[in-house]
Amino acid sequence: MEVIDLLGYVGALVIGIVLGLIGGGGSILTVPVLVYLLSINPVTATAYSLFIVGASSLVGAINNMKKKLVDFRTATVFAIPAFIAVYSTRKFLVPAIPKHLFSLWGFEVTKNIGIMLFFALIMVVASISMIKENGKGELQEVKVKYNYPLIIIEGIVVGMLTGIVGAGGGFLIIPALVLLAKLPMKKAVATSLLIIAAKSLIGFIGDVQNLEIDWMFLLVFTGLSIAGIFFGGYLNKFIDGGKLKKGFGWFVLVMGIYIIWEELF
């Protein structure tokens, strides 16, 4: 095994540790690790990321269910349009994107470059969300109210974004659950993991029909990420999650800028 491959598998563990430490954000590292450390094609990498993110989030969601933090009704209302959008995106939209998108000043933008640039943009937006996070996680008993039209629109948008870039989209889902369903922050975070798990795994089903999947690699990588979650959960007892999340946000920002530079220059 080459050093770069070894770093890729270490990256799998780090993704899980970040998820375990701060309850989200680790999935944003999955595609860069697969593409830049393990030299996997971006389209395949986003597919693998859906499975890894889905399986990892499911572990967190099950843990939250035991703590009675998951609002199943809200998850269902939000997830149904997201399911349809992410499956349709992976099954029909991504395969339909042409290999060569356009040329600008002599620079040819291919499908792979386009996906990575779009992913980098999502990373930058997610990093700003993490850096600005105020860390309020108190659990308040508030009557849940639903703005159905906006929840459906948000579900479709998040589903499409998840389908294109292979990330969970928690930085979009959590504010939507707080603002549109009036969930307390802790319940919003817990419920978002169930939504992310379900829509990511359903999106991956759309890829199984289009791509050749290396199941052995995918299961090993996912297993390492899940192991990292438990280790991160243990470390969380000793580390300030709020400060860590802001620090990780700055790291994601630098990574997003690096990807833009790497793809363009």
Cα–Cα dist 235/217, whole Å: 27
Predicted model pTM:
0.82
Q: Which residues contact 152 (CB under 8 A, 6 or more apart)?
A: 81
Predicted confidence band at 181 (pLDDT cuts at 50, 70, 90)? confident
Confidence of residue 139 (pLDDT cuts 50, 70, 90): very low
Residue 181 DSSP class = S
The HSE-up count of residue 56 (CA atoms within 13 Å, CB side) is 40
Looking at residue 184, what DSSP letter applies? -
- How many CA within 13 A on the CB side of residue 244? 18
Question: Across residues 80-89, what is the average pLDDT?
Answer: 88
Condensed to tens digits (0 to 9), the pLDDT of residues 200-212 reads: 888 898 888 788 8
Average pLDDT over residues 141-163: 77
pLDDT at 141: 52
